[in-house]
Amino acid sequence: MKPYPVTFEPQFKERIWGGRRLSGLFGKTLPGTNPIGESWEITDRPEGVSVIRNGPWAGRTLRWLLENHGSEVLGRPVSPGERFPWLIKILDARDDLSLQVHPPAHRAEALCGEPKTEMWYFAAADPGAKIYVGLKPGVTRGEFEQRVADGTVAGCFHVETPSRGDAMFVPSGRVHALGGGSVVFEIQQNSDTTYRVFDWNRKGLDGKPRELHLEPSMASIDFDDVSPGLIQSQWSDDGDVRRRSLVAHELFQIDEWKFDHAASVPDGRPPGTPSVIAVVEGGLRLPSGGEVLELGAGGFVLIPAVAESMIFDAQPGTTLLRVLPRS
């Protein structure tokens, strides 16, 4: 049997800065009553592996899928132990996340970490919600270190105010923090290495101050990364769907599609290419293993490379993100 389009059970992560909005926005069944900051939607990590939800392989994991059908899923030879290339999440930031950085590829190994480049797509943003990205013009390494020490380092950061539908690219080495009041779809390199620079002097869920990682942070920050902006790209319109490119990077290509009215369109994948589809709002129907798969807002599907081109049936008002490997 060859791989078919698969959906997965989300994995919820408690975070001190999280909330409970994923239930109301996306119908997620959240555990307990504690704040949920992250829903790991597609993950092949040692600390969390996705479990297939649909079809004959329901109950098996993404790790099993890569080990047994890796080349059919990814459309290329797969090395033993190789993991799925992306980690895909929804983040609910009720409060500000820590000011942080991920190690760049050329320094990650020396720092005993993994590089992590990512993109945020804002599914919701409260009025006045902020993100901290890169540095203000003129901030030196010496000033940054001094303001870390005296607790005012947030003043070194460039600040953007995103709205629903905006997107931000965050390459490894860009110091950043997601501010409170936003819900984002995060598409990232398969890594979970984060170095905290400052955490607003708050305590973790265990009541203890959260660990900072000042030495690897300072080794990772790109001090020439000044005033980066939100993604600005042009829309194309073929009458059925409007599209724009959000990211074209060696790790992934991410596009946004919008349907103003009901439409049926080809998925548009190059032959032999996998994709991930994330539904931000509205709804989508697509064939899967002889059945029709229905995805609502907050739904994700992995379409393997061996799957034939298929037709997406979109409801009016649907917005989706499409992730492809960079060709």
Which one is catalytic: 63, 196, 269, 322? 196
Instruction: Examine the residue annotation and report whether 141 is marked as an active-site residue of this protein.
Output: no
Beta bridge partners of 295: 284
Long-range contacts of 263-268 (CB under 8 A, 24+ apart): 263/313, 263/314, 264/240, 264/311, 264/312, 264/313, 264/314, 265/240, 265/241, 265/311, 265/312, 265/314, 266/309, 266/310, 266/311, 266/312, 267/303, 267/309, 267/310, 267/311, 267/312, 267/322, 268/309, 268/322
Q: Which of 181, 199, 9 is nearest to 92 (CA)?
A: 181
Give the HSE-up count for residue 138: Cα atoms under 13 Å, Cβ half-sphere. 1
What would the two tokens of residue 192 be? 């979970």
What does the alpha-carbon distance between residue 234 and residue 227 come to, in Å, rounded to a whole number? 21
Separation in Å, CA 160 to CA 127, 136, 141: 12, 11, 22
Q: Which residues are catalytic?
A: 196
